[in-house]
Structure 1
Amino acid sequence: MPLKIIGTGMSRTGTLSTKMALEALGLGPCHHMMELFANPTQVERWVDVARCDTTAWETVFEGYASQVDFPGGRVWQQTIHAFPNAKVLHTERPEEEWWASFSKTVLKVWANHESLTQNMPQHIKDIFVKLTPFYIDDTFGGMPDKEMALTAYRRNNRLVRELVPADRLLVFTPSDGWGPLCTFLQVPVPDAPFPRSNGRDEFWDNFEEEPAD
């Protein structure tokens, strides 16, 4: 099935809450970084994506109706053309808030992956070794400091607005709640609270411990 929703927002912009919301609205399964943690085949698939100049995107996202977060968010400039009927959902938050979250979670894991993943399955180790050029190098120009990270964050936010037609795009944060999302997707508002997930403590539950600063 082709993707119906393409997520262009970077990690730590409320992507896991958004994944849960999309699935609650019947637009799942939703692809997210956690799919790679759970499925070795997904890691192999994305290592192949990182090596290829051309990709069969319907095969890459086979079985998924929507996508948010890395690694799918890394290739949105290709997938918006591969899935021309998909709507584009751009999760975003104030840049200082994003940096505070990103630097204490995703970036900290990548910088300390050898120790953090030493007792984890091989496919999880492979994420941080084999996909580093695809993610860290291509997105930030190397392991980023704050200014490098914010430059990449601003660039991505700007490019989404420049390259995606306004009638196809929703700029969104989970704190907006169901209203804007359901209006954009033309679906009824659920009789349930909007999902909230992946705070810092919950993020670190995926690892044995959080390294000291």
Structure 2
Amino acid sequence: MPLHVIGVGLGRTGTYSLRIALETLGFGPCFHMEEVARNLPVQLPLWNDVMDGKPDWPTIYAGYESAVDWPTACFYRELNAAYPDARFILGVRDPRSWAESFGETIHKITFDADDPPERFREWLAMVRRVILRSGIPADADKDALAAAFVAHNDAVKAAIPADRLLVYAVKDGWEPLCAFLGLPVPKEPFPRTNNREEFWDLIKSLS
């Protein structure tokens, strides 16, 4: 089963909400970093191979119709080559707002955790590699984080053909997403989830 929709927005751009939205629209299941964390024995070696230049996309995404979030977002060029018919969604938000959200969540658990649970140490090591590969320094201040965020977004827009790329803010809801995918707008409200408090609740549930 090939991927039909690939989200290449960095974490903290509404990727969890987008995941639920895509599944609601029929592009499920949707691959997310949570899938890696909940299935480390299988997924961690696969992603370490990707980081070492030996991707096995069909195995990683077996059974999934879409993917969002890191580590997927780090490999937009490779996935564009592997899935030339897929549509891409670049999640965006105000760069400064993103930097503050990322700095208080993903950056904190990835680079500032003093003593993470042993079973997550290899996972966090892989996550650090992904984030660094995305052009985000480990010791970046808010200005440097915002600049890295803009650089990623610009690189995606340069790499993915415009007719297959939606630059999208989840705050805009169903309409632009459904127009891009050629689908009717659902009657149910657009999902809004994984704010900072929910992020830490999710992390606790993985421990």
Relative to the length of structure 2, the TM-score reads 0.91
Relative to 1, partners in 2 of residues 1:158 and 1:138: Cα closer, same or farther, differing over 3 Å? closer
Paired AA for residue 70 in structure 1: W
Match of 2:26, SS state, is: coil
Match of 1:43, SS state, is: helix
Task: Give yes or no for the alignment of 1:206 onto 2:189.
Answer: no
**Contact preservation (8 Å) 1:15, 1:91:** yes
Relative to 1, partners in 2 of residues 1:125 and 1:84: Cα closer, same or farther, differing over 3 Å? same
Q: Give the match for residue 189 of structure 2.
A: 193
In 2, the alpha carbon distance for the partners of 1:19 and 1:198 equals 11
Q: Give the match for residue 66 of structure 1.
A: 66
CA displacement, residues 122-144 of structure 1 (integer Å, 9 cap, x when unaligned): 1x222112442332355324442
**Contact preservation (8 Å) 1:29, 1:64:** yes
In 1, the alpha carbon distance for the partners of 2:56 and 2:133 equals 23
Relative to 1, partners in 2 of residues 1:138 and 1:17: Cα closer, same or farther, differing over 3 Å? closer
Paired AA for residue 168 in structure 2: F
Relative to the length of structure 1, the TM-score reads 0.89
In 2, the alpha carbon distance for the partners of 1:24 and 1:138 equals 29
Task: Give yes or no for the alignment of 1:97 onto 2:97.
Answer: yes
CA displacement, residues 78-123 of structure 1 (integer Å, 9 cap, x when unaligned): 10111000001010001111111111111111123343x32xx61x
Task: Give yes or no for the alignment of 1:182 onto 2:178.
Answer: yes
Paired AA for residue 193 in structure 1: P
**Contact preservation (8 Å) 2:95, 2:147:** no
Relative to 1, partners in 2 of residues 1:142 and 1:101: Cα closer, same or farther, differing over 3 Å? closer
Cα deviation, residue 77, structure 1 = 1.1
Identity %: 38
Question: What runs of 5+ residues in structure 1 fail to find an aligned partner?
Answer: 209-213
In 2, the alpha carbon distance for the partners of 1:138 and 1:5 equals 20
Paired AA for residue 58 in structure 2: E
Paired AA for residue 34 in structure 1: E
Relative to 1, partners in 2 of residues 1:138 and 1:27: Cα closer, same or farther, differing over 3 Å? closer
In 1, the alpha carbon distance for the partners of 2:91 and 2:106 equals 16
**Contact preservation (8 Å) 1:29, 1:63:** yes
In 2, the alpha carbon distance for the partners of 1:131 and 1:106 equals 9
**Contact preservation (8 Å) 2:47, 2:55:** no
Q: Give the match for residue 46 of structure 1.
A: 47
In 2, the alpha carbon distance for the partners of 1:47 and 1:114 equals 23
Relative to 1, partners in 2 of residues 1:142 and 1:178: Cα closer, same or farther, differing over 3 Å? same
How many residues are aligned here?
203
In 2, the alpha carbon distance for the partners of 1:202 and 1:45 equals 28
Q: Give the match for residue 30 of structure 2.
A: 30
In 1, the alpha carbon distance for the partners of 2:180 and 2:151 equals 24
Tell me how large the CA RMSD over aligned residues is.
Answer: 1.7
In 1, the alpha carbon distance for the partners of 2:133 and 2:76 equals 17
